[in-house]
């Protein structure tokens, strides 16, 4: 009498982090050009916010959830949702859903930036335990969120505006490097471009 042995099927998913980080890098690069004054308006920023800033990051987060990659899943997912909300804010501001009511208050976006800033304080600790490039990107994101939130609330806009622009631009540059490094290192199976060793401040359980 034959017995059937159970078989375990393991589905392996590729690391989608490079795609998610590239999405973040590209959308911040395009958005920073408006803050720098190199481009004007937000109408043509919305496609990049929706497809690269949101869909690319949310899809990468979904893959990371399946791979049990806790850091990538939460961070990419959180910022993918952030860029959907930003795109909606721009669409409403540009009248895509009709004229703005009198009580429309764009300062609410500023408070949302501060909400993300509080959450990113925790993410930054974990980012430095992933690698130094991720840590540097999160520090710049803290600067961006704090300065952009302050600008939207009218707090020293002559200072916080340019600070937000340069922080966002530097996030993009580091993001392009990180995406390229993750891609090449993963493709060749060894370190081609360094990302910097974890800081080792906090030991995992």
pLDDT, tens digit (0-9, with 9 covering 90-100), for 168-184: 999 999 999 999 999 99
Backbone dihedral angles phi then psi of residue 98, each to the nearest 5 degrees: 105, 180
- What's the domain count of the chain? 1
CATH number of the domain that 89 lies in?
Answer: 1.25.40
pLDDT in tens, 80-119: 999 999 999 999 999 998 888 888 899 999 999 999 999 9
Examine residue 12 and state whether it is found in any structural domain, yes or no: no
Contact 131, 197 (CB under 8 A): yes
Establish if 121 belongs to a structural domain. yes
Residue 199 lies in a domain: no
> Is residue 4 very low, low, confident or very high in pLDDT (cuts 50, 70, 90)?
low
| Residue 90 is assigned to a structural domain of this protein | yes
Query: What is the span of the domain harbouring residue 76?
Result: 17-96+106-188
Does the residue 101 lie in any domain? Answer: no
pLDDT score, position 100? 86
Q: Is residue 10 part of a domain?
A: no
Is 175:28 a contact under the CB 8 Å cutoff? Answer: yes
195 in a domain, yes or no? no
């Amino acid at each position: 009498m034959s017995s059937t042995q159970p078989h375990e099927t393991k589905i392996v998913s590729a690391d989608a982090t490079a795609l998610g980080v590239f999405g973040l890098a590209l959308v911040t690069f395009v958005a920073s050009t408006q803050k720098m004054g190199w481009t004007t308006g937000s109408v043509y920023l919305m496609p990049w916010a929706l497809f690269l800033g949101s869909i690319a990051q949310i899809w990468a987060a979904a893959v990371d959830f399946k791979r049990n990659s806790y850091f990538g899943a939460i961070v990419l997912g959180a910022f993918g949702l952030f860029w959907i909300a930003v795109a909606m804010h721009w669409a409403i501001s540009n009248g895509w859903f009709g004229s703005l009511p009198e009580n429309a208050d764009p300062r609410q976006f500023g408070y949302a930036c501060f909400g993300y800033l509080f959450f990113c304080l925790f993410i930054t600790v974990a980012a430095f335990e992933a690698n130094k490039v991720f840590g540097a990107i999160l520090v710049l994101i803290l600067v961006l969120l704090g300065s952009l939130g302050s600008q939207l609330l009218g707090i020293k806009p002559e200072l916080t505006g340019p600070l937000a622009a340069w922080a966002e631009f530097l996030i993009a540059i580091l993001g392009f490097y990180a995406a390229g490094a993750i891609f090449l290192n993963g493709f060749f199976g060894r370190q081609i471009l360094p990302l910097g060793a974890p800081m080792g401040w906090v030991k995992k359980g």
